[in-house]
Structure 1
Amino acid sequence: MAKKVLIIGAGGVGQVVTHKCAQAPEVFGEIILASRTEEKCRRIAAQINRPIRTARVNADNVSELVTLISREKPDLVINVALPYQDLPIMDACLETKTNYLDTANYEPKDTAKFEYKWQWAYHEKFAERGIMALLGSGFDPGVTNVFTAYLAKHYFDEITELDIVDVNGGNHGQAFATNFNPEINIREVTAPCRHWESDSFVETPAMSENRSFTCPEDVGTYSIYRMYHEELESLVKHYPSLKKAQFWMSFSENYLKHLEVLQNVGMTRIDPVLYNGMEIVPLQFLKAVLPEPSSLGPLTQGRTCIGNIVTGKKNGKEKRTYIYNICDHQDAYREVGSQAISYTTGVPAMIGAKMMLTQTWMKPGVWNMEQFDPDPFMADLNQYGLPWKIQDPAELG
């Protein structure tokens, strides 16, 4: 029986999620798209050849959220708004007894620190209400968690090392732009790096460790930089055999040069400064003058390559395996009007929602992706636009 879903957030990812949900009417019988700016929702709805209702809501305001959710009575809320808004939306879901899904963990506005402790603290509350929250159903986090679970289930008896590698081989031709929300992107990149080693997190300066990485299928060779990403926190918790876990992302010299200058002149600060008698946050002002990520869709050429290199043991022998997805920016744009960064986040959000609505993954409480059977999710990645491959260990070098 088809269900009703409320999507909150009308940025690039919200656009992809709405398109992909609309492609599965047997699961998503009714779709409501809500945002602080309803006109954005209407523009997305106009792209889709089935009725999509829209609404206005301030996702920082729990009472507004409760009013909307109570009126619409969705079976699930898909949160693709800002990470700052995770907790207000979870509070509204608790009050209305509604299932919840997001793509990124909570991050306080005034501190560039993202971790799961705030959301994990909701586990008992959600369980008592008989509702489920699925955290981080994007690509990284999300698919990378499921990739880990899939390899742990089918390819290893024990996993000991994990490297998540996120390469964007796309080129949008702009002097400086971010492929998703600039405020979130820059906060992530400039935060101190943390990686897991010898049973604890080790902190190092941001972007201080880099190496060269050659992607399969002629995507290219890129400089990748070690940084902290939230899936490490949940993966080392749920796979205690991991001795080392790292996250790597590619950046061009041009991006890093611009970012260094912006940092040096204070434009990446998240604390308010006084200007003409008004308080402004430099990073929020920078976001306003940079290209809107959704505008990059028609401009971006090239492919992304995101995957996991896992080391461990099978039948007593050391083994190393690489599992990955490659996504073409222009293919994504032709299908849903967004580039591959939004596509690779939005498709897993839809699949996670499908897992919940079909009761494939459904358990009261707050859960991470790797805590469920990976097989049905992996099958849907192949069906809905993010096919994956496993590289022969001999090719890894």
Structure 2
Amino acid sequence: MSTVLVIGAGGVSSVAVHKMAMNADIFSDIHLASRTKSKCDSIAASVKQRTGRDVATYEIDAEEVPAMVNLIRKVRPSLVVNLALPYQDLPIMDACLEACVSYLDTANYEPKDEAKFEYHWQWAYHDRFKEAGLMALLGSGFDPGVTSVFTIWLKKHKLKTIRQLDILDCNGGDHGQAFATNFNPEINIREVTAPARHWENGEWVETPAMQIRTEFDFEGVGKKNAYLMYHEELESLAKFVPELERARFWMTFGDAYITHLTVLQAVGMTSIEPIKYQGRDIIPLQFLAAVLPKPESLGETTKGKTNIGVIATGEALDGSGEKTFYINNICDHEDAYEETGNQAVSYTTGVPAMIGSAMMLTGKWSGDGVFNMEQMDPDPFMEMLNAHGLPWKVEELDGPVEF
């Protein structure tokens, strides 16, 4: 039984804290902090109503390292779970090092002034965490996170090597809004509008954003247009699965989303460059994020399913030649809302955050330094996915899927 401190109070945090409260044998004491304490209090009230568990709440600016250190020393957690914005990863890691506590997050660091999603800033912390005898686990969400665990599970149980990998992220949910994002609008739009990149023959191939698409028939959702994008797990997979010849990431978007985004981009509302407005510097994308519906407000109206998985082709483990496997999870928005009060996009990230935390707190995953999900034994994590709301299935396909 362990004490955990969660930073951030959005939809993902709400799911993670609810699921932690449902696992009292692992998470004995739960503490929640964010810049806006009222959001923490709202989550705590929901957790109390649904589970009977108490969650202690605090106000904190996660970018203020001394304040973070003081809070960590006050709470004395075994683990800090960072579910705040990716801009805050490094300050929270600094605070964990100073306060001597292990760390977990769901998304890699990115600087505020550039849409750049890379792990090298956090990988540079490896020696410091190792020397301190602490563990930092990066990217314990769904993608990144579960998709990496899916890949390594296939390599452990089905494929000796993986030659080609395609990650497919489909959200078939309908929230009834003209335009809204299912997770933090600022992060979502920065990802979508950034140039696409994929790994091929030992190098990164860059293409314009949202220019390459394919149609795929997703079980539980139907046929959807999926667009080639860059996503951070491609970087870690290329590093830890060195035989990969090609690795790509695809995400589905409806026509209405694309139309709205195209117009917003054309008029400069997706820019992260400061502009002067009434004598003040503002970031257009941050203003846009402020006026869009909050992702945590979409749960009650969202219907439909998500379907996220990986298709891997490589040499079969049993020596029977080249094979292709598809492993995925389907999650229902309404089921997720009924259980935690949040839609499935938050659910599919928050549950893996809880599971990754459980892996560390129970010692099933351990080590000194900074680690990605691909470096861990996938089996106990996969078992917990089945037991805690994200069941998966694997099937052999007739051959490689060409997009």
Report if TM-score (shorter chain) is over 0.5.
yes
Choose the corresponding residue for 2:224, options 210, 222, 225: 222
| Alignment correspondent of 1:109 | 112
| Stretch of structure 1 that moved more, 218-227 or 180-189 | 218-227
CA distance in 1, matches of 2:10, 2:63: 16
Q: Does 1:354 align with 2:358?
A: yes
Unaligned runs of 5+ in 1: none
Q: 1:89 to 1:43 in 2, by over 3 A?
A: same
- Compute the displacement of 1:25 (Å): 0.3
Choose the corresponding residue for 1:52, options 51, 55, 71: 55
State the identity %: 61
Deviations 1:193-232 (A, max 9, x none): 110001101111001110000012x421100000000000
On the 8 A contact 2:313/2:400 being kept in 1, the answer is no
Aligned-partner SS, 2:182: coil
Q: Once superposed, what is the RMSD of the aligned Cα atoms?
A: 0.9
On the 8 A contact 1:322/1:396 being kept in 2, the answer is no
CA distance in 2, matches of 1:51, 1:60: 26
Query: What amino acid is aligned across from residue 304 of structure 1 in structure 2?
Result: T
- Compute the displacement of 1:393 (Å): 1.6
Deviations 1:327-366 (A, max 9, x none): 0000000000000000000000000000000000010100
| Alignment correspondent of 1:161 | 164
Deviations 1:15-36 (A, max 9, x none): 0011000000000000000001
Choose the corresponding residue for 2:263, options 261, 264, 267: 261
On the 8 A contact 1:165/1:248 being kept in 2, the answer is yes
Query: What amino acid is aligned across from residue 33 of structure 2 in structure 1?
Result: A
| Alignment correspondent of 2:201 | 198
| Alignment correspondent of 1:81 | 84
Choose the corresponding residue for 1:213, options 192, 198, 216: 216
On the 8 A contact 1:14/1:80 being kept in 2, the answer is yes
On the 8 A contact 1:104/1:136 being kept in 2, the answer is yes
CA distance in 2, matches of 1:159, 1:392: 14
| Alignment correspondent of 1:16 | 15
Query: What amino acid is aligned across from residue 393 of structure 2 in structure 1?
Result: K
Choose the corresponding residue for 2:296, options 272, 294, 297: 294
| Alignment correspondent of 1:25 | 24
Q: Does 1:176 align with 2:176?
A: no
CA distance in 2, matches of 1:131, 1:221: 45
CA distance in 2, matches of 1:392, 1:157: 15
- Compute the displacement of 1:394 (Å): 3.3
| Alignment correspondent of 2:367 | 363
Query: What amino acid is aligned across from residue 42 of structure 2 in structure 1?
Result: R
CA distance in 1, matches of 2:212, 2:320: 32
Query: What amino acid is aligned across from residue 292 of structure 1 in structure 2?
Result: K
| Alignment correspondent of 2:34 | 35
Q: Structure 1 residue runs of 4+, over 4 Å off?
A: none
- Compute the displacement of 1:391 (Å): 2.0
CA distance in 2, matches of 1:112, 1:372: 28
| Alignment correspondent of 2:321 | 317
- Given the two structures, how large is their TM-score scaled by the length of structure 2? 0.97
On the 8 A contact 1:183/1:283 being kept in 2, the answer is yes
Q: Does 1:65 align with 2:68?
A: yes
CA distance in 2, matches of 1:318, 1:219: 29
Count of equivalent residues: 395
Query: What amino acid is aligned across from residue 151 of structure 1 in structure 2?
Result: L
